[in-house]
Amino acid sequence: MKLLKLILITLFIGSTTYTNAQESHQDTQTYEQRINNATRLYQNGKYTKAALEYEKAFKPKEGNFRDYYNTACLWSLAGNTTKSLKYLNISADKGLNMVEHLKNDTDLSKLHGTAEWKMILKKVQQNLKEYQKYYTDDGELKREVIAKDKLANWVNNFGLQKLIEEAENNSAIAQRRLARYYTFIDKIDKKKVKWLKEAADSFDYTALNNLAFAYNQGTGVETDKKEAAIYYTKGACVAPYGKTNCFWAMRDFFGLEVASNLKMETMISLVNNNMTALILDDYTLGNLLYNLASYYESGLASDYPKDLSKAKHYYKKSAKYGNGYAKKKLTELD
């Protein structure tokens, strides 16, 4: 299992050790390094230091609504209501639209009695209303983009600039669609890969699959089988029910047994990682939990025994995030 462990280490967004040497070179750290520092500090319960890392990250570069939301959560956990409200308000201004998630997030429960909370909630509700003009409940753009011969007309109708704005505002669906545009219409491979990487950071299943394919084939990037394997593995973990492309690609890389065990190990690590719920949206998190439950139910991974109790546990969690297949499974297992 050493091979699985070594590959798994690379799955977690460029982890590096937080050392005194890094402290002495604070000004040279990138936005991504700051966020990684914050993640590790959060995992160790150092909420104030984690929030300060986010603040340092925002100085040279603006974040997206998720990063400002995470900062609000950290300041709330640290007991600083004023700063928490400040960053939550920025998140709302940048498009935060997860109304139910916001209401139920216990990290922010200290804010509920404030006047600012009601104003922010109203803003987020308005964001959701605006979002729903363009997207379905599953996060798919309502205007149809299926066949590549229809793509140019779709983009023209929706507006390329509108699509770019949505993509720059951290919509993984828009980022993936934009990558599709640069694949089939404008045919600029480097731009295609750029937007696939952006969408892959949000664990968009299709983007992960397409990015893995790009690394495997060397389109827009140099051929890199290791990177391809990493993205295929991530994609297999969060794939919706019935979507098995990523897993079959993993099987071709590693063989069936190793691929099954790697997928299982990665799913367990993702679910046990405290930051996963902050990175994934409810739909993707529901998929991840469903996939983990199904592996426990079936015993597909030879290194992990079949366990119906754990299967039910994760089906329940998946159902909580709105996964309809998980709800159906719970009915069948009861």
CA 216 to chain centre: 22
In a domain, 95, yes or no: yes
- In the listed set 151, 174, 202, which residue is the last one of a domain according to the structure? 202
Together in a domain, 236 and 196: no
- In the listed set 148, 178, 202, which residue is the last one of a domain according to the structure? 202
| Residue pair 248/280 in contact by the 8 Å Cβ criterion | no
Together in a domain, 192 and 221: no
pLDDT at 124: 94
CA distance 196 to 129: 27
In a domain, 207, yes or no: no
The total number of structural domains that make up the chain: 3
Together in a domain, 56 and 159: no
In a domain, 80, yes or no: yes
In a domain, 91, yes or no: yes
CA 140 to chain centre: 15
pLDDT at 132: 75
In a domain, 87, yes or no: yes
pLDDT at 157: 58
pLDDT at 182: 82
Q: Residue 300 sits in which domain range? A: 214-333
pTM above 0.85, yes or no: no
Together in a domain, 242 and 228: yes
- In the listed set 202, 235, 261, which residue is the last one of a domain according to the structure? 202
In a domain, 143, yes or no: yes
Together in a domain, 16 and 116: yes
In a domain, 209, yes or no: no
Together in a domain, 39 and 28: yes
pLDDT at 141: 54
| Element holding 245 (H helix, E strand) | helix 245-254
In a domain, 85, yes or no: yes
Together in a domain, 68 and 150: no
CA 202 to chain centre: 3
Together in a domain, 139 and 243: no
pLDDT digits (tens), the chain, 334 positions:
223 333 333 344 333 333 333 443 445 678 888 888 988 999 899 999 999 999 999 988 788 888 999 999 999 999 999 999 999 999 999 889 889 999 999 999 999 989 999 999 999 999 888 777 666 666 655 544 334 555 666 566 566 777 788 888 888 888 888 888 788 777 788 889 999 999 998 888 888 988 998 998 888 889 998 899 999 999 999 999 888 878 888 888 888 899 999 999 999 999 998 888 778 888 899 999 999 999 999 998 999 999 999 999 999 999 999 999 999 999 988 7
CA distance 170 to 295: 31
Which amino acid is present at 313?
A: H
